[in-house]
Amino acid sequence: MNHPASRNTLFLEKAEVVFHEAYPENQYHMRLHAYETALHAKPGHFVHMQCHTSLLMRRPMSLMRTDINKGTIDILYKVHGQGTQLLSTRQKGEVIDLIGPIGQPFKLDNYSKRPLLIGGGVGIPPMVFLSEHLKSQHQDCKPFVIMGSEIPFPFEAKPSQIMMSELPSDVIACMPLLEDWGIASRLTSLQNYAGCFQGYVTDLARHWLNNLDDAARQEVEIFTCGPTPMLKAVSQLAREYDLPCQVSLEEYMACAVGGCAGCTVLIETENGPAMKRVCVDGPVFESKSVIQFQS
Protein backbone atom coordinates (compact mmCIF):
# COMPACT_ATOMS: atom_id res chain seq x y z
CA MET A 1 0.00 0.00 0.00
CA ASN A 2 1.20 3.49 -0.81
CA HIS A 3 0.73 6.44 1.56
CA PRO A 4 1.28 10.19 0.99
CA ALA A 5 4.23 11.19 3.19
CA SER A 6 3.96 14.98 3.13
CA ARG A 7 1.68 17.61 1.51
CA ASN A 8 0.65 15.04 -1.14
CA THR A 9 4.03 15.47 -2.85
CA LEU A 10 5.97 12.60 -1.26
CA PHE A 11 4.83 9.01 -1.20
CA LEU A 12 5.81 6.13 1.05
CA GLU A 13 5.73 3.05 -1.12
CA LYS A 14 6.25 -0.67 -0.79
CA ALA A 15 8.12 -1.12 -4.06
CA GLU A 16 8.52 -4.57 -5.58
CA VAL A 17 11.77 -5.44 -7.33
CA VAL A 18 11.00 -6.15 -11.01
CA PHE A 19 14.58 -6.99 -11.97
CA HIS A 20 18.07 -6.47 -10.59
CA GLU A 21 21.10 -6.79 -12.87
CA ALA A 22 24.79 -6.70 -11.99
CA TYR A 23 27.49 -4.96 -14.05
CA PRO A 24 31.30 -4.88 -13.67
CA GLU A 25 32.89 -3.16 -10.67
CA ASN A 26 29.89 -3.65 -8.36
CA GLN A 27 27.45 -1.60 -10.41
CA TYR A 28 23.76 -2.52 -10.40
CA HIS A 29 20.65 -1.63 -12.36
CA MET A 30 17.39 -2.10 -10.44
CA ARG A 31 13.82 -1.68 -11.60
CA LEU A 32 11.08 -1.27 -9.01
CA HIS A 33 7.31 -1.11 -9.21
CA ALA A 34 6.59 2.19 -7.45
CA TYR A 35 3.51 3.63 -9.07
CA GLU A 36 3.17 6.97 -7.27
CA THR A 37 6.85 7.81 -7.63
CA ALA A 38 6.78 6.91 -11.32
CA LEU A 39 3.68 9.05 -11.83
CA HIS A 40 5.02 12.17 -10.11
CA ALA A 41 8.80 12.04 -10.68
CA LYS A 42 10.62 14.61 -12.82
CA PRO A 43 14.25 14.64 -14.05
CA GLY A 44 16.49 15.43 -11.08
CA HIS A 45 14.22 13.89 -8.44
CA PHE A 46 15.47 11.06 -6.23
CA VAL A 47 14.12 8.44 -3.83
CA HIS A 48 15.14 7.49 -0.29
CA MET A 49 15.31 3.72 0.04
CA GLN A 50 15.55 1.29 2.93
CA CYS A 51 18.23 -0.96 1.48
CA HIS A 52 17.46 -3.88 3.78
CA THR A 53 15.23 -4.59 6.78
CA SER A 54 18.35 -5.11 8.89
CA LEU A 55 19.45 -1.51 8.28
CA LEU A 56 17.02 1.25 9.20
CA MET A 57 19.00 4.15 7.74
CA ARG A 58 17.84 4.82 4.20
CA ARG A 59 20.00 5.72 1.19
CA PRO A 60 19.27 8.36 -1.49
CA MET A 61 19.15 7.10 -5.07
CA SER A 62 18.84 9.13 -8.26
CA LEU A 63 16.16 8.17 -10.74
CA MET A 64 17.33 7.04 -14.16
CA ARG A 65 13.98 6.34 -15.86
CA THR A 66 10.29 6.09 -15.08
CA ASP A 67 7.50 4.30 -16.89
CA ILE A 68 4.15 5.82 -16.01
CA ASN A 69 2.19 3.12 -17.86
CA LYS A 70 3.89 0.29 -15.99
CA GLY A 71 4.38 2.23 -12.75
CA THR A 72 8.09 1.45 -12.60
CA ILE A 73 11.25 3.37 -11.76
CA ASP A 74 14.86 2.53 -12.64
CA ILE A 75 17.91 3.25 -10.52
CA LEU A 76 21.59 2.70 -11.24
CA TYR A 77 23.98 2.46 -8.30
CA LYS A 78 27.43 1.34 -7.26
CA VAL A 79 28.17 -0.57 -4.07
CA HIS A 80 29.82 1.84 -1.67
CA GLY A 81 29.41 0.87 1.96
CA GLN A 82 27.09 -1.27 4.03
CA GLY A 83 23.78 0.03 2.72
CA THR A 84 24.41 -0.46 -0.98
CA GLN A 85 26.10 -3.80 -0.27
CA LEU A 86 22.88 -4.99 1.37
CA LEU A 87 20.83 -3.49 -1.46
CA SER A 88 22.84 -5.52 -3.96
CA THR A 89 21.53 -8.72 -2.39
CA ARG A 90 17.86 -7.92 -3.01
CA GLN A 91 16.08 -10.29 -5.38
CA LYS A 92 13.24 -10.07 -7.89
CA GLY A 93 9.90 -10.13 -6.09
CA GLU A 94 11.21 -8.68 -2.84
CA VAL A 95 9.69 -5.47 -1.50
CA ILE A 96 11.68 -2.35 -0.67
CA ASP A 97 10.38 0.53 1.41
CA LEU A 98 11.00 3.89 -0.24
CA ILE A 99 9.97 7.54 -0.14
CA GLY A 100 9.71 9.52 -3.35
CA PRO A 101 9.92 11.53 -5.44
CA ILE A 102 12.07 13.99 -3.48
CA GLY A 103 13.72 17.32 -4.26
CA GLN A 104 13.66 20.12 -6.80
CA PRO A 105 14.07 18.84 -10.38
CA PHE A 106 15.86 20.29 -13.36
CA LYS A 107 13.76 22.91 -15.11
CA LEU A 108 11.12 21.37 -17.33
CA ASP A 109 10.69 23.97 -20.07
CA ASN A 110 12.19 27.03 -21.77
CA TYR A 111 15.34 25.16 -22.73
CA SER A 112 18.00 26.65 -24.94
CA LYS A 113 18.36 25.02 -28.34
CA ARG A 114 21.50 23.02 -27.48
CA PRO A 115 21.34 21.42 -24.02
CA LEU A 116 24.71 19.96 -22.99
CA LEU A 117 24.23 17.17 -20.46
CA ILE A 118 27.30 16.02 -18.53
CA GLY A 119 27.16 12.98 -16.22
CA GLY A 120 29.98 11.34 -14.32
CA GLY A 121 29.82 7.91 -12.65
CA VAL A 122 26.67 7.59 -10.55
CA GLY A 123 25.72 11.02 -11.90
CA ILE A 124 24.86 9.39 -15.23
CA PRO A 125 21.26 8.34 -14.30
CA PRO A 126 19.78 11.86 -13.98
CA MET A 127 21.20 12.71 -17.40
CA VAL A 128 19.41 9.70 -18.91
CA PHE A 129 16.15 10.77 -17.25
CA LEU A 130 16.58 14.35 -18.51
CA SER A 131 17.43 13.08 -22.00
CA GLU A 132 14.22 11.07 -22.13
CA HIS A 133 12.25 14.12 -21.02
CA LEU A 134 13.85 16.24 -23.76
CA LYS A 135 13.12 13.54 -26.34
CA SER A 136 9.44 13.32 -25.45
CA GLN A 137 8.63 16.92 -24.57
CA HIS A 138 11.10 19.19 -26.37
CA GLN A 139 11.78 17.81 -29.83
CA ASP A 140 13.05 21.18 -31.04
CA CYS A 141 16.13 20.80 -28.80
CA LYS A 142 19.37 19.23 -29.99
CA PRO A 143 20.89 17.76 -26.82
CA PHE A 144 24.42 16.42 -26.59
CA VAL A 145 25.23 14.06 -23.71
CA ILE A 146 28.75 13.47 -22.36
CA MET A 147 29.27 10.62 -19.89
CA GLY A 148 32.47 9.88 -18.02
CA SER A 149 33.60 6.88 -15.99
CA GLU A 150 36.86 5.44 -14.70
CA ILE A 151 35.35 1.96 -14.42
CA PRO A 152 33.57 0.04 -17.20
CA PHE A 153 30.32 1.72 -18.20
CA PRO A 154 27.17 -0.10 -16.98
CA PHE A 155 26.09 -0.75 -20.56
CA GLU A 156 27.74 -2.09 -23.70
CA ALA A 157 28.99 0.96 -25.58
CA LYS A 158 28.71 0.98 -29.36
CA PRO A 159 29.97 3.19 -32.20
CA SER A 160 27.62 6.10 -32.75
CA GLN A 161 25.95 6.64 -36.11
CA ILE A 162 25.25 10.26 -35.17
CA MET A 163 28.16 12.15 -36.66
CA MET A 164 29.50 15.25 -34.89
CA SER A 165 31.98 17.32 -36.85
CA GLU A 166 32.97 19.30 -33.75
CA LEU A 167 34.57 16.23 -32.15
CA PRO A 168 37.68 14.16 -32.93
CA SER A 169 36.81 11.56 -35.56
CA ASP A 170 37.97 8.66 -33.36
CA VAL A 171 35.65 9.58 -30.47
CA ILE A 172 32.67 7.43 -31.43
CA ALA A 173 31.64 5.40 -28.34
CA CYS A 174 28.10 6.15 -27.22
CA MET A 175 25.30 4.91 -24.97
CA PRO A 176 23.04 2.64 -27.07
CA LEU A 177 19.83 3.77 -25.33
CA LEU A 178 20.45 7.42 -26.19
CA GLU A 179 21.47 6.46 -29.71
CA ASP A 180 18.15 4.66 -30.14
CA TRP A 181 16.40 7.87 -29.08
CA GLY A 182 18.31 9.85 -31.69
CA ILE A 183 20.23 11.77 -29.02
CA ALA A 184 23.95 12.32 -29.60
CA SER A 185 26.20 11.01 -26.83
CA ARG A 186 29.90 10.38 -26.32
CA LEU A 187 31.89 8.66 -23.58
CA THR A 188 35.05 9.78 -21.83
CA SER A 189 37.58 8.03 -19.61
CA LEU A 190 41.23 7.94 -18.66
CA GLN A 191 41.27 4.13 -18.99
CA ASN A 192 41.83 3.86 -22.76
CA TYR A 193 38.42 2.33 -23.44
CA ALA A 194 37.83 1.80 -27.16
CA GLY A 195 36.14 4.72 -28.89
CA CYS A 196 36.12 6.90 -25.79
CA PHE A 197 37.66 10.34 -25.49
CA GLN A 198 40.85 10.03 -23.44
CA GLY A 199 40.34 12.76 -20.86
CA TYR A 200 37.84 14.36 -18.52
CA VAL A 201 34.25 15.20 -19.42
CA THR A 202 35.14 18.89 -19.27
CA ASP A 203 37.99 18.36 -21.76
CA LEU A 204 35.58 16.94 -24.32
CA ALA A 205 32.96 19.60 -23.54
CA ARG A 206 35.55 22.34 -24.09
CA HIS A 207 36.64 20.75 -27.38
CA TRP A 208 33.01 20.71 -28.55
CA LEU A 209 32.32 24.28 -27.43
CA ASN A 210 35.47 25.60 -29.09
CA ASN A 211 34.41 24.10 -32.41
CA LEU A 212 30.94 25.63 -32.40
CA ASP A 213 30.49 28.97 -34.10
CA ASP A 214 29.61 31.92 -31.89
CA ALA A 215 25.90 31.80 -32.67
CA ALA A 216 25.63 28.08 -31.88
CA ARG A 217 27.66 28.45 -28.67
CA GLN A 218 25.18 31.05 -27.42
CA GLU A 219 22.43 28.42 -27.74
CA VAL A 220 24.09 26.08 -25.22
CA GLU A 221 23.07 25.52 -21.61
CA ILE A 222 24.60 22.91 -19.32
CA PHE A 223 23.05 20.33 -17.00
CA THR A 224 25.28 18.13 -14.88
CA CYS A 225 25.44 15.56 -12.11
CA GLY A 226 28.40 13.63 -10.73
CA PRO A 227 31.21 13.70 -8.16
CA THR A 228 31.82 17.05 -6.48
CA PRO A 229 35.21 17.73 -8.18
CA MET A 230 33.55 17.18 -11.55
CA LEU A 231 30.66 19.50 -10.69
CA LYS A 232 33.12 22.17 -9.64
CA ALA A 233 35.01 21.79 -12.94
CA VAL A 234 31.80 21.92 -15.00
CA SER A 235 30.70 25.03 -13.09
CA GLN A 236 34.02 26.68 -13.89
CA LEU A 237 33.59 25.70 -17.54
CA ALA A 238 30.15 27.33 -17.60
CA ARG A 239 31.59 30.53 -16.14
CA GLU A 240 34.44 30.49 -18.66
CA TYR A 241 31.99 30.42 -21.59
CA ASP A 242 29.29 32.48 -19.82
CA LEU A 243 26.72 29.69 -20.15
CA PRO A 244 23.75 28.90 -17.90
CA CYS A 245 24.35 25.75 -15.88
CA GLN A 246 22.31 23.66 -13.48
CA VAL A 247 24.05 21.21 -11.16
CA SER A 248 22.55 18.31 -9.24
CA LEU A 249 24.55 18.07 -6.02
CA GLU A 250 25.47 14.86 -4.23
CA GLU A 251 25.51 14.90 -0.42
CA TYR A 252 25.23 12.39 2.37
CA MET A 253 21.82 12.74 4.00
CA ALA A 254 19.96 11.17 6.89
CA CYS A 255 16.27 12.02 6.64
CA ALA A 256 16.20 13.34 3.01
CA VAL A 257 12.94 15.22 3.70
CA GLY A 258 14.33 18.43 5.18
CA GLY A 259 14.06 17.65 8.87
CA CYS A 260 17.64 17.05 9.97
CA ALA A 261 19.43 19.74 7.91
CA GLY A 262 22.42 17.44 7.63
CA CYS A 263 22.93 18.00 3.90
CA THR A 264 23.19 21.79 3.78
CA VAL A 265 25.32 23.78 1.33
CA LEU A 266 26.03 27.49 1.11
CA ILE A 267 23.95 29.07 -1.67
CA GLU A 268 23.78 32.67 -2.86
CA THR A 269 20.14 33.82 -2.74
CA GLU A 270 18.34 37.09 -3.47
CA ASN A 271 18.74 37.91 0.23
CA GLY A 272 22.40 36.97 0.43
CA PRO A 273 24.24 33.74 1.34
CA ALA A 274 22.12 31.07 3.03
CA MET A 275 22.46 27.44 3.99
CA LYS A 276 20.16 25.35 1.81
CA ARG A 277 19.23 21.69 2.17
CA VAL A 278 20.30 19.55 -0.78
CA CYS A 279 17.40 17.14 -0.21
CA VAL A 280 14.44 19.54 -0.49
CA ASP A 281 15.87 22.90 -1.66
CA GLY A 282 17.91 20.97 -4.23
CA PRO A 283 19.47 18.73 -5.31
CA VAL A 284 19.36 20.94 -8.42
CA PHE A 285 20.77 24.46 -8.14
CA GLU A 286 22.03 27.08 -10.56
CA SER A 287 25.79 26.50 -10.60
CA LYS A 288 26.59 30.18 -10.18
CA SER A 289 24.62 30.22 -6.92
CA VAL A 290 26.71 27.46 -5.26
CA ILE A 291 29.21 29.45 -3.19
CA GLN A 292 31.37 26.54 -2.14
CA PHE A 293 31.29 23.05 -3.57
CA GLN A 294 31.79 20.65 -0.69
CA SER A 295 33.95 17.57 -1.02
Same domain for 22 and 143, yes or no, is: no
pLDDT of residue 258: 82
- For residue 193, how many other CB atoms are within 10 A of its CB? 18
pLDDT of residue 94: 97
Q: Does a structural domain hold residue 284?
A: no
Out of 222, 247, 272, pick the residue that ends a domain: 247
Out of 102, 129, 157, pick the residue that ends a domain: 102
**CA 254 → CA 38, 86, 211, distances in Å?**
23, 17, 44
pLDDT of residue 260: 83
Same domain for 125 and 81, yes or no, is: no
Q: Does a structural domain hold residue 88?
A: yes
In angstroms and rounded to an integer, the radius of gyration of the C-alpha atoms of the chain is 19
Are the C-beta atoms of 220 and 114 separated by less than 8 Å? yes
Same domain for 163 and 237, yes or no, is: yes
CA atoms within 13 A on the CB side of 261: 4
Same domain for 96 and 152, yes or no, is: no
Same domain for 142 and 231, yes or no, is: yes
pLDDT of residue 164: 96
pLDDT tens digits along 256-274: 788 887 888 999 999 999 9
Residue 42 structural domain: 3-102
Same domain for 123 and 206, yes or no, is: yes
Q: Rounded to two decimals, what is the model's pTM? A: 0.93
- What string of H, E and C letters represents the secondary structure of 111-175? CCCEEEEEEEHHHHHHHHHHHHHHHHHCCCCCCEEEEECCCCCCCCCEECCCCCCCCCCCCCEEC
Q: Which residues of the chain have a pLDDT value below 70?
A: 1-8, 293-295
pLDDT of residue 293: 67
Measured distance CA(132)–CA(67) in Å, rounded: 11
Q: Does a structural domain hold residue 295?
A: no
pLDDT tens digits along 106-123: 998 889 999 999 999 989
Q: Which regions of the chain does DSSP assign to beta strands (E)?
A: 3-6, 10-23, 27-33, 46-49, 59-62, 65-67, 72-78, 95-102, 114-120, 144-148, 158-159, 173-174, 184-189, 197-198, 220-225, 245-248, 264-269, 272-277, 284-286
pLDDT of residue 261: 79
Same domain for 133 and 75, yes or no, is: no
Tally of domains within the chain: 2
